[in-house]
Amino acid sequence: MPSDYAIHSDLLVYWTGAKDIEKDCKTAGWNRDNCPKEERENTQVINAYVERLTSILKYGLWMTNQSPPEIGSGSTLQEAPCSCFTELKLSQSQNHAARYGRLGLAFKRPFLFERGGRPVVYYSSKEGRWMMQDKFLHSCAKDLHDKRLMHFFQPMNSGLQLNYDLYSESEWRIVFDDQLCNDGRIVDPRNAKSAAFEYFNKLPPDQQNKLRYLIPVDGWLALIIYPTLSIKNIAQQPGHPIRALLESIKGNKMDHANQVEGGNFPVEIDLDLCRHF
């Protein structure tokens, strides 16, 4: 077993739900420690998370525009579609999930490698003299032909204080590349020939503006982290659409990931259980 497994997780987790599903939640958290049971069992929230998981398994992970680093390099850096993942151990996921959403889908590293994904390159802070002294950061911003690659840079700190709040997230990213569309690794939902076209047209306008591309889920899916046990129980009911979608993903014998993984179905746990890993 590679020695880095003792330090780094082999699972990269895509978290979702905080910016929409939970934005109207009355509590700052939404876990068993600081949220009443009636809040945790809110039917609207439960249904929204079940629907979110169903749509991801059927159509893919969302790629949304991310702002580039603001480093004053003289180069014009534009937004680019990205998907973000964390390499945190599951036991360290609680705070991260509270910030980004409590539904997590974890993939083996090759899922990202096959789509040009990699760990972000961290630099000192979002602003200040430490950032200005980072020669590597500024040289890349100046010399890189494809400026979208600057989206693989991320400050260690969200402000001047060296608290390393962003560095602690151990972030990986997939950044949009035209070749990924040509290879079918990502899907343009605005394309009328896409299987996701009907799904895209049913989204409300604000979500249509947010969604840029979709990354179809394949056999590298290794773990599903449900926000609560009740949501997990719903998704695991016999005959639920989520079961059929997992059967379809893991039953694809032409998928190289399934050939490597032996078609193993993902482990399914709830977020509270992550405390023990």
Q: Tell whether the torsion through CA atoms of 53, 58, 171 and 70 is positive or negative.
A: negative
> Residue 127 and residue 163: Cα distance in Å, rounded?
13
The rounded distance, in Å, linking the Cα atoms of 100 and 149 is 23
Q: Cβ(219)–Cβ(258) under 8 Å?
A: yes
Helices (DSSP H) in the chain: which residue ranges?
A: 37-40, 43-59, 93-100, 110-113, 129-132, 135-143, 178-182, 197-201, 205-210, 229-235, 241-250, 256-261
Q: Give the whole-angstrom CA distance, residue 33 versus residue 152.
A: 35
Amino acid 41: pLDDT: 57
Say how many C-beta atoms besides its own lie within 10 A of residue 27's C-beta: 12
| pLDDT value, residue 269 | 95
pLDDT at position 276 is 77
Give mean pLDDT in consecutive 10-residue pieces for the chain, a chain of 277 residues.
60 90 56 48 85 97 92 77 91 83 95 96 87 90 90 90 90 96 94 95 94 97 95 96 97 94 93 84
Task: Determine the pLDDT at residue 27.
Answer: 41
Residue with tokens 């997590």: 104
Tally of CB atoms within 10 A around 190: 14
- Which amino acid belongs to residue 222? A
Please give the pLDDT value at position 74. 64
Q: Letter for the amino acid at 92?
A: Q
Residues 6+ apart with CB under 8 A from 114: 185
Q: Say which amino acid occupies 26.
A: K
- The residue behind tokens 């996701």 is 196
Q: What is residue 50's predicted lDDT score, i.e. its pLDDT?
A: 96
Amino acid at 226: Y
270 — phi, psi (to 5°)?
-100, 160
**164, containing H or E segment:** none
